[in-house]
């Protein structure tokens, strides 16, 4: 378990630990290269900057988030949107069988990633907006599951006894659920909570349903991690000191324990986000998550699966984009871990 | 050992009962009238009544659950006929017994996951050991980066690529299909070869990464160094001391993976159009077939719990410090 080295210096640990959390803090000047007088956060940032793979992976991840968030802007410059049937407006784009004409997949100066067979939508716009949908779903899912996990882990670990026992049993129970099966089978039930079955399901309801189910099933790993970290921190001197000086339980949780848990939480969180993206993609792939006409990453694979025999190019762009994204995220996660805990040699 | 097994099995059984109650509550009692859910769009009042009657939905929920559980042990009678002992109900859509449908699909899922398991375990552990033994060399770097890329791939992306290359454009192999092993062992093998390998490539990557890091960790342990220092040969120490210790985290993950796979390799089955449990689950959900969904969930949970017990027993076998009981 990674525990920040300052944890032992009892009294003033809250301020330094608070700083260790802000990974993104950029006020460090590493020109001198000395380690004396720097907070753990600054040291971490220094180590991270030296790791070239990590920096590149981080840039790729930021790039993906940026183009996904800025999809409308890109679309405005590029002059297309993900919903228009370009193939119907311009008959030369698709042949009589509905397949793109010209170069494989219909890749051209007008449609950089080609056009979709049959409907003739622009693949690049579909992909950008699809990534946007996926990320906009996966980020809230990750945040909610992190909060749930941290809360339950912290409470279980700190209070111990019966509370801990029952939280532990609930965690075990959720871990024994077949998660993929549970995901797909509860989706219609949760959707039915919001919409009558004979009505069309709006997109935000699908989003809400996914948010509820995915975070419901996503917190257990985090809870176990936080619990075990809390158990070891609970007995440390600075917590004892806080107790003796009369701090309330709530204050100890918030000001003494939580700041020391930021590192494991951050590391686990970077692992959870790609998992959430893949879960959203999985739901859409099996046809239960987002459906037509919402552009979605996973739904593109579903469509690609239907047509790849005749038009493999359609699958190529979303597939390669996803591999690059997940690889970068994994590399970034590894680098963050190394930066936080340099002794854990891989 | 026996006491351990009894204790673990009974606690697994309790969790299974809880899961069944939980899913039953979600599907049959939660949001709205399940009959409306089951009936879907364009539902008439008469159709709803029939469904309610068939499911016994007019009874209180506790009684419904009791009937369901009693059916598993003793069998039940339905309007479509007698449902024998492990009775999980009758499908809304096909009027077939849920248990029979699942048993019908089980051989494919078993073949798929166990066959894949053999391949990815051999390849993954082998590659991981090799990378750990040659840490820092070109071999290690190639294996590690390959496993990084493959572990980031998805079956629904890699599968079509492999199919396109081997089946549709070159015709080297036939489309994946399932033939029972009892009928035609060779056809069973060749039919599932592509799904096995695609599945294995992705899983292998995970196991390579894990087996490598776990092995490197073990090789730095004191007892391994001591064994080397007192003059034991390198391969002996490598396998007898370090490898055995490195297996613990791998067995943990293996148990989770196997349990999940046996409950239906959903994406693999969808990608290769194979009709196993996973496919059955997706169809059941899209058709809002509650009894079938419920049945598949229970079977999936049973597999996961069974694998957990096996994993815990395996710990004791691998690591003599672990005490059972």
Shared domain for B165 and B305, answered yes or no, is yes
B160, B171, B304, best to mutate vs chain A, most A CBs in 10 Å: B160
pLDDT tens-digit series, residues B140-172: 888 888 888 888 888 888 888 888 888 877 777
Query: Cα(A121)–Cα(A123) distance, rounded to whole angstroms?
Result: 6
Provide the domain limits for residue B202.
105-324
Q: Do A309 and B164 touch (CB under 8 A)?
A: yes
Number of A–B residue contacts, CB under 8 Å: 136
Q: Is B313 on the interface with A (CB under 8 A)?
A: no
Query: What residues of chain A, 265 to 284, have a C-beta less than 8 Å from chain B?
Result: 278, 281-282
**For residues B16 and B302, is the Cβ–Cβ distance under 8 A?**
yes
Shared domain for B294 and B158, answered yes or no, is yes
Looking at B98, B114, B132, the residue that finishes a domain is B98
Listed in sequence order, the residues at least 6 apart from A60 whose beta carbon sits closer than 8 Å to its beta carbon are A324, A325, A328
Provide the number of structural domains found in chain B.
Answer: 2
Q: What is the pLDDT of residue A341?
A: 72
Query: Cα(A93)–Cα(A103) distance, rounded to whole angstroms?
Result: 11
Higher per-residue confidence, B125 vs A43: B125
**For residues A266 and A146, is the Cβ–Cβ distance under 8 A?**
no
Q: What is the pLDDT of residue A344?
A: 55
A24, two tokens: 């993104």
- Ranking A12-26, A103-117, B104-118, B273-287 by mean pLDDT, the lowest is A12-26
Q: Which residue of A has its CA nearest to B258?
A: A178
pLDDT tens-digit series, residues A66-108: 998 888 888 888 877 787 777 777 777 777 777 777 677 677 7
Shared domain for B154 and B10, answered yes or no, is no
* B109 DSSP assignment: H
User: pLDDT averaged over chain B?
Assistant: 82
Q: Do B42 and A198 touch (CB under 8 A)?
A: yes
Nearest to A178 among B30, B151, B260 (CB): B260
ipTM metric = 0.83
**For residues B285 and A188, is the Cβ–Cβ distance under 8 A?**
yes
Q: Do A189 and B31 touch (CB under 8 A)?
A: yes
Average pLDDT over residues B307-324: 78
B156, B165, B258, B266, best to mutate vs chain A, most A CBs in 10 Å: B156
Query: Cα(A167)–Cα(A156) distance, rounded to whole angstroms?
Result: 6
Looking at B98, B133, B154, the residue that finishes a domain is B98
Q: Which residue of A has its CA nearest to B265?
A: A180
- How long a stretch of residues is chain B? 325
Q: Which residue of B has its CA nearest to A298?
A: B156
Query: Cα(A69)–Cα(A305) distance, rounded to whole angstroms?
Result: 27
Q: Is B267 on the interface with A (CB under 8 A)?
A: yes
Shared domain for B227 and B82, answered yes or no, is no
Q: Do B148 and A278 touch (CB under 8 A)?
A: no
Nearest to A189 among B15, B27, B263 (CB): B27
Q: Which residue of A has its CA nearest to B281?
A: A181
DSSP-based three-state secondary structure for A94:
strand
B113, B135, B146, B157, best to mutate vs chain A, most A CBs in 10 Å: B157
Judged on CB neighbours under 10 Å (0-12, 13-18, 19+), A27 is exposed
Average pLDDT over residues B100-121: 90
Looking at B72, B98, B124, the residue that finishes a domain is B98
Shared domain for B109 and B140, answered yes or no, is yes
Q: What is the pLDDT of residue A135?
A: 92
Q: Is A8 on the interface with B (CB under 8 A)?
A: no
CATH no. for residue B147? 1.10.3720.10
| Residues in chain A, pLDDT under 70 | 1-36, 102, 105, 109, 197-198, 342-346
Nearest to B285 among A176, A184, A327 (CB): A184
**May I ask the CATH class of domain A127-298?**
mainly alpha
**For residues A24 and A267, is the Cβ–Cβ distance under 8 A?**
no
| Closest by CA position to B197, among listed B163, B148, B170 | B163
Query: What residues of chain B, 2 to 41, have a C-beta less than 8 Å from chain A?
Result: 15, 18-19, 22-23, 26-27, 30-32, 36-37, 39-41
Q: To 5 degrees, how large is the angle CA B35–CA B37–CA B42?
A: 90
**For residues A253 and A270, is the Cβ–Cβ distance under 8 A?**
no
pLDDT tens-digit series, residues B5-18: 888 888 888 888 98
Cis amide bond preceding A293, omega within 30? yes
B77 to chain A, closest Cα gap in Å:
26
Segments making up each domain of chain A, as ranges: 127-298
pLDDT tens-digit series, residues B194-219: 899 888 888 888 889 888 888 888 88
Query: Cα(B212)–Cα(B135) distance, rounded to whole angstroms?
Result: 9
Nearest to A192 among B32, B43, B164 (CB): B32
Query: Cα(A187)–Cα(A209) distance, rounded to whole angstroms?
Result: 6
DSSP-based three-state secondary structure for B82:
strand
Q: What is the pLDDT of residue B171?
A: 72
Q: Do A322 and B154 touch (CB under 8 A)?
A: yes
Query: Any alpha helices (H) in chain A, and if so which ranges?
Result: 13-21, 40-50, 52-69, 71-78, 86-89, 123-159, 161-176, 179-194, 203-216, 220-234, 237-244, 249-251, 258-285, 297-307, 313-340
B157 to chain A, closest Cα gap in Å:
6
DSSP-based three-state secondary structure for A151:
helix
* A10 DSSP assignment: -
- Positive or negative torsion for Cα B64, B66, B70, B72: positive
Torsion angle, CA of B226/B228/B230/B231, rounded to 10 degrees?
A: 180
Inform me whether the pLDDT recorded for B294 exceeds 80.
Answer: yes
Query: Cα(A126)–Cα(B239) distance, rounded to whole angstroms?
Result: 51
A15, two tokens: 């301020």
Q: What is the pLDDT of residue A197?
A: 63
Query: Cα(B76)–Cα(B86) distance, rounded to whole angstroms?
Result: 9
Percent of chain B with pLDDT over 90: 2
Inform me whether the pLDDT recorded for B176 exceeds 60.
Answer: yes
A322, two tokens: 């996803």
Q: Do B15 and A173 touch (CB under 8 A)?
A: yes
Shared domain for B199 and B295, answered yes or no, is yes
A335, two tokens: 């680098």
Listed in sequence order, the residues at least 6 apart from B167 whose beta carbon sits closer than 8 Å to its beta carbon are B173, B174, B175, B194
**A187 contacts in B (CB within 8 Å)?**
285
**A338 contacts in B (CB within 8 Å)?**
none
Write out the E strands in chain B: 76-78, 81-83
| Pairs from A87-91 (Cβ < 8 Å, separation ≥ 24) | A87/A115, A87/A116, A87/A118, A87/A119, A87/A120, A87/A121, A88/A119, A88/A120, A89/A120, A90/A120
**A341 contacts in B (CB within 8 Å)?**
none
Query: Cα(A125)–Cα(A72) distance, rounded to whole angstroms?
Result: 9
**A196 contacts in B (CB within 8 Å)?**
32, 36
B79 to chain A, closest Cα gap in Å:
26
CB atoms within 10 A of CB B171: 8
Judged on CB neighbours under 10 Å (0-12, 13-18, 19+), A292 is exposed
**For residues A86 and A93, is the Cβ–Cβ distance under 8 A?**
yes
Half-sphere exposure of A245 (CA within 13 A, CB side): 10
A248 to chain B, closest Cα gap in Å:
37
Q: To 5 degrees, how large is the angle CA A314–CA A318–CA A319?
A: 95
A32 to chain B, closest Cα gap in Å:
31
**A305 contacts in B (CB within 8 Å)?**
156, 160, 270-271
Query: Cα(B29)–Cα(B57) distance, rounded to whole angstroms?
Result: 9
B149 to chain A, closest Cα gap in Å:
6
């Amino acid at each position: 378990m990674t525990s920040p080295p300052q944890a032992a210096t009892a009294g003033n640990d809250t301020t330094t630990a608070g700083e260790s959390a802000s990974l993104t803090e950029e006020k460090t000047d590493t020109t001198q290269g000395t380690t004396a007088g720097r907070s753990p956060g600054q040291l971490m940032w220094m180590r991270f900057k030296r790791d070239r793979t990590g920096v590149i992976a981080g840039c790729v991840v930021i790039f993906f988030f940026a183009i996904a968030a800025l999809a409308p802007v890109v679309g405005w410059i590029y002059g297309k949107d993900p919903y228009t049937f370009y193939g119907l407006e311009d008959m030369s784009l698709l042949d009589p069988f509905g397949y793109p004409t010209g170069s494989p997949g219909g890749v051209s100066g007008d449609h950089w990633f080609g056009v979709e067979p049959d409907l003739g939508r622009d693949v690049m716009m579909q992909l950008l907006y699809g990534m946007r949908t996926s990320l906009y779903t996966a980020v809230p899912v990750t945040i909610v599951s992190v909060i749930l996990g941290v809360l339950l882990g912290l409470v279980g670990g700190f209070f111990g006894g019966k509370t801990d026992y029952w939280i532990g049993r609930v965690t075990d129970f959720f871990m024994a659920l077949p998660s993929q099966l549970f995901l797909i089978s509860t989706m219609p039930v949760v959707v039915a909570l919001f919409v009558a079955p004979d009505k069309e399901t709006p997109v935000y309801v699908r989003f809400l349903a996914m948010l509820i189910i995915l975070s419901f099933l996503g917190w257990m790993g985090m809870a176990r991690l936080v619990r075990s970290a809390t158990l070891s921190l609970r007995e440390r001197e600075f917590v004892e000191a806080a107790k003796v000086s009369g701090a309330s339980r709530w204050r100890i949780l918030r000001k003494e324990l939580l700041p020391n848990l930021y590192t494991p939480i951050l590391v686990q969180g970077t692992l959870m986000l790609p998992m959430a993206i893949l879960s959203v993609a999985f739901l859409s792939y099996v046809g239960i998550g987002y459906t037509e006409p919402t552009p979605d990453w996973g739904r593109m694979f579903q469509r690609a699966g239907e047509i790849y025999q005749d038009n493999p190019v359609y699958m190529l762009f979303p597939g390669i984009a996803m591999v690059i994204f997940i690889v970068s995220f994994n590399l970034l996660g590894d680098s963050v871990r190394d930066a936080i805990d340099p002794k854990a040699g891989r | 050992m026996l006491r351990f097994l009894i204790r673990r099995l009974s606690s697994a059984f309790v969790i299974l009962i809880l899961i069944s109650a939980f899913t039953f509550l979600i599907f049959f009692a939660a949001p709205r009238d399940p009959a409306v859910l089951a009936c879907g769009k364009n539902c008439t009042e008469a159709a709803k009544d029939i469904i309610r009657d068939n499911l016994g939905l007019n009874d209180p929920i506790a009684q419904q659950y009791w009937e369901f559980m009693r059916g598993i042990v003793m069998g039940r009678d339905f309007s479509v006929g007698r449902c024998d002992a492990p009775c999980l109900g009758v499908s809304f859509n096909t009027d077939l017994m849920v248990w029979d449908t699942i048993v019908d699909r089980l051989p494919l899922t078993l073949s798929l996951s166990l066959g894949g398991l053999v391949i990815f375990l051999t390849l993954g552990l082998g590659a991981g050991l090799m990378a750990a033994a040659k840490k820092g060399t070109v071999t290690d770097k190639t294996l590690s980066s390959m496993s990084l890329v493959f572990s980031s791939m998805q079956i629904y992306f890699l599968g079509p690529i492999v199919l396109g290359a081997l089946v549709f454009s070159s015709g080297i192999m036939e489309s994946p299909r399932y033939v029972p092993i009892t009928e035609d062992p060779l056809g069973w093998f060749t039919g599932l070869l592509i799904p096995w390998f695609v599945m294995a490539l992705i899983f292998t990557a995970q196991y390579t990464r894990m087996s490598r890091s776990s092995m490197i960790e073990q090789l730095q342990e004191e007892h391994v160094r001591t064994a080397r220092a007192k003059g034991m040969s390198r391969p002996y120490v490598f396998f007898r001391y370090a490898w055995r210790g490195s297996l613990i985290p791998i067995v943990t993950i293996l148990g989770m993976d196997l349990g999940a796979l046996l409950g239906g390799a959903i994406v693999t089955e969808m990608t290769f159009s194979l009709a196993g449990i996973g496919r059955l689950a997706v169809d059941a959900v899209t058709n809002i077939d509650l009894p079938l969904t419920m049945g598949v969930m229970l079977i999936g949970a049973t597999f996961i719990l069974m694998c957990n017990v096996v994993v815990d027993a395996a710990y004791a076998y691998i690591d003599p410090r672990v005490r059972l009981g």
